[in-house]
Structure 1
Amino acid sequence: MEFVSQVVIWTLIGAIGVLGAFLLFSTMTIYSPPKVMELSAISTPVNFENAVSTKFSVLTWNIGYAGLDASEDFFMDGGTMSMPPNKEVVEKNMKGIKSFLNAHQTDFISLQEVDENSARSYGINEISEISNMLKDRFGYYALNYKVNFVPVPLSHPMGNVKSGIALFTKYKPLKVERWSFPGDYSWPVSLFQLKRCFIASWYNVENSNKKLVYVNLHLSAFDKGGTLRKTQLDYLKRFMLLEYEKGNYVIVGGDWNNMMPGITLHHFKFTTPLKYLDIYMNFPKDWTPKGWKWAYDPSTPSLRSDEKPYVKGENFTTIIDGFLVSPNVNILSVKAFDLGFKNSDHNPVEMEIELGK
């Protein structure tokens, strides 16, 4: 009996030591990007336009690392899975994603959750595949998730992750920067979470002294009570108002991880138990600056819940993807594409705009 007790004690000591070493290593190697970092192009076209025309189109899509198609669930949303069952699923989803992007080559394309080298997408270099397809565009990529090993869920850990957000455009930018959002989770959770950011890009405009500022963002998702999201939104607001006050045109688009203003929890019918819905936040009241305009499609959901594989009318769906434009930008049209969440747990959203005087 005494021998068994000693084995248990030494096993516990060993486990604690391994855990301590793992946390120390994760702390020492944590991804810590600067507040602002200039981005270099990952692709440069032979032919391009030096200035943005007064009318153009934009598209945003969270592609869910090609691993969250309609057949998948996700452990952070109440499901059990941390990755697709095999590489073939990711390859199938990438084929569908690239097919859609090839058919909808808007002037600006903003993407979120694009993996570069992650266990959850079986090492497929998604950003390389997409940039090779969109080789007639300037391409930019900003990491927001770089972790050597994500240890949850314990039964089948997610493993290494290297992922980010991407921007593709046919216009030559004056500069492109990665801006880190402030705020983070407490230690040790922060070791395994995303380092949220947005891509800001500046362009000349035809027959104008003004500049166009185009932003691609991806806000936090699982912060309890939306505390981090509120901090990020306030930071973003200061940035975009400053650019507008300079006289620039400003377009901000992406995955806001807040239900768009005017969208309620019951905007679309669902049977998902309410216990899975506390991560979905209403947009903060009175946050939208005066005169700024939202662009989203109220008739089509841009996101589905991942507590189980998708079944239309059962899974919770809502709208968290879209655009916000400054008062000097006119919205001509906006459309979300109902793809049935075939290749991602988000649907793409497209907007056409015209720059004002």
Structure 2
Amino acid sequence: MKKILRGVLVLCVLAFIAFVVFYFWASSPTQSQEDYAQMITYDYKPVITHDSIYSIVTYNIGYLSGMTNNRPVDRTKAFLESNMNLVLDQFELSDPDIIVFQEIDYDATRSYSVNQQDEIAKLGYPYAAKAINWDKHYVPFPYWPLKTNFGKVISGQSVLSKYPLSDHERIVLSRVGDNPFYRDAFYLDRLAQVVTVNLDGREVKVINVHLEAFDKPTRAVHTDAVLKLYRQYAKDYPTILIGDFNSDPEFETPTINKILSQTDIGNAAYTLDNHANTFDTADPFKRIDFIFYSKNTIDYVDGRVINSFAQASDHLPVEMRFRLK
């Protein structure tokens, strides 16, 4: 009997050690910190078809998982390739000058290790800024069944442009304070990605954000931080604050109202009577993706939520066309 108990105890100790080793390996990064913010130049020639009107799109691409995002389902490679082809076709039609992404995968098991930024850049976007915000050897989510775990994840936020980019910054926003340690170890960084776009000799600041989704107090802190960042740049540059703010104006005490209430900040494809919802794509019921701009330096031409991207992601993209004053 003692031998059996000793054997069980040894097995329990070994299992615990294996779990601890797995935990620290799985939650550790695969990349060096120096690689988390990169400027990339591709050998593609941009086709610029406008005169003085520029266009910019924000798209939480949800790693092309459509309405299966964060759900415990198998995603075939063919499913993701079909969504990629839809996105490529739609961007070829809309032909924006600048595309801003959130939740774009660079090398992740869940998306079959396809570098989605590289693939979309082939449409004729020679300039890219890449900011990694999720880098783990193995993400054990969704929790069950195990075969639906994300596994290795290298993902983040990107800016693709037909115009030269410079002065790239990756600004990490505050973490959720009351996350348990085991959740926080696998949680992504929330970022403000700042880059300068040279539009025919004029420098424009683009601030690409992906704010906290699940904890409202943290999202409020993030909103204050990015609004302060916007103010810092808007004093000297035409400035666009853009991305997934994870707040709908219809929420109870919505954090997005901190920005919507600023009378000198414009808002593309949005009115009080028509929020033009962007989430989810099966039946859009929330507006959480926005393009804000400095009214004193940017002349708003028009904007829209682009419904033709269908369910390639769980978000719809937002487009703004504009002139510089």
| Short-chain TM bin | 0.7 to 0.9
Q: TM-score, normalised by structure 1?
A: 0.77
Pair 204,129 (structure 1): closer, same or farther in 2 beyond 3 Å: closer
2: CA distance between counterparts of 1:281 and 1:191?
Answer: 30
- Give runs of aligned pairs for residues 25-174 of structure 1, distance below 5 A: 25-26=25-26, 29=29, 33=33, 39-43=38-42, 45-46=44-45, 55-69=53-67, 72=68, 74-75=70-71, 80-81=72-73, 84-131=74-121, 133-152=122-141, 153-156=143-146, 157-174=149-166
Return 154-163 or 10-19, whichever deviates more. Answer: 10-19
Structure 1 pair 166–95 and aligned structure 2 pair: CA distance change class (3 A): same
Residue 188 and residue 196 in structure 1: after superposition, are their counterparts in 2 closer, same or farther (change >3 A)?
Answer: same
Match of 1:11 in 2: 11
CA distance, structure 2, for counterparts of residue 12 and residue 342 of structure 1? 46
CA distance in 1 between partners of 2:185 and 2:29 (Å): 9
- Does residue 212 of the first structure (1) align with residue 204 of the second (2)? yes
Are positions 1:232 and 2:222 aligned together?
yes
Counterpart CA distance in 2 for 1:256 and 1:231 is: 12
Structure 1: state its 5+ residue gaps: 266-279
User: 1:115 and 1:236 mapped to 2: Cα distance?
Assistant: 23
Give the aligned residue type for 2:162: K
Alignment-mate amino acid for residue 74 of structure 1:
N
Other-structure match for 1:300: 276
1:175 to 167, 170, 176: 167
Shift of 1:205: 5.4
For 1:64, the aligned partner's letter is G
1:195 aligns with 2:195: no
Aligned residues: 314
Contact 2:173 2:222 in 1 (8 A): yes
Q: 1:53 to 1:175 in 2, by over 3 A?
A: farther
Is the CA contact 2:138–2:151 (under 8 Å) kept in the aligned structure 1?
yes
The offset of 1:15, in angstroms, is 2.4
Q: CA deviation at 1:250?
A: 0.7
The list of structure 1 runs, each at least 4 consecutive aligned residues, that deviate by more than 6 angstroms after superposition, is none
* Matched-pair contact (CA < 8 Å) for 2:234–2:294: yes
CA distance in 1, matches of 2:308, 2:47: 31
Does the C-alpha gap of structure 1 residues 54 and 140 become closer, same or farther in structure 2, counting only changes over 3 Å? same
Preserved contact between residue 294 and residue 322 of structure 1 (Cα < 8 Å): yes
- What is the Cα deviation at residue 28 of structure 1? 5.3
CA distance in 1, matches of 2:208, 2:197: 14
**Unaligned ranges ≥5, structure 2:** none
Tell me the SS of whatever aligns to 1:39.
strand
| 1:319 partner amino acid | R
Deviation at residue 284 of structure 1 after TM alignment: 4.8
SS in 1 for 2:165: coil
Q: C-alpha separation between the residues in 1 aligned to 2:277 and 2:4?
A: 58
Contact 2:65 2:75 in 1 (8 A): no
Separation (CA, whole Å) in 2 of partners of 1:104 and 1:48: 13
Distance 1:235 1:22 in 2: 35
- Among 234, 247, 269, which residue is 1:244 paired with? 234
Q: CA deviation digits over 1:223-273, x for unaligned, max 9?
A: x3x23222222221221111122x2111111111111xxx315xxxxxxxx
Query: Cα distance 1:232–1:86, how it changes in 2: closer, same or farther (>3 A)?
Result: same
Query: Match of 2:66, SS?
Result: coil
**Which residue is equivalent to 1:269?**
none
**1:283 partner letter:** T
Three-state SS of the structure 2 residue aligned to 1:192 is coil
- Shift of the 54–242 alpha-carbon distance from structure 1 to 2, 3 Å rule, reads farther
- Of all paired residues, the percent bearing the same amino acid is 21
Q: Which amino acid aligns with 1:12?
A: C
- TM-score, with length taken from structure 2: 0.84
Aligned to 1:277: none
Distance (whole Å) between structure 2 residues aligned to residue 54 and residue 179 of structure 1: 31
Contact between 2:128 and 2:165, CA under 8 Å: does it hold in 1?
no
* Residue aligning to 1:268: none
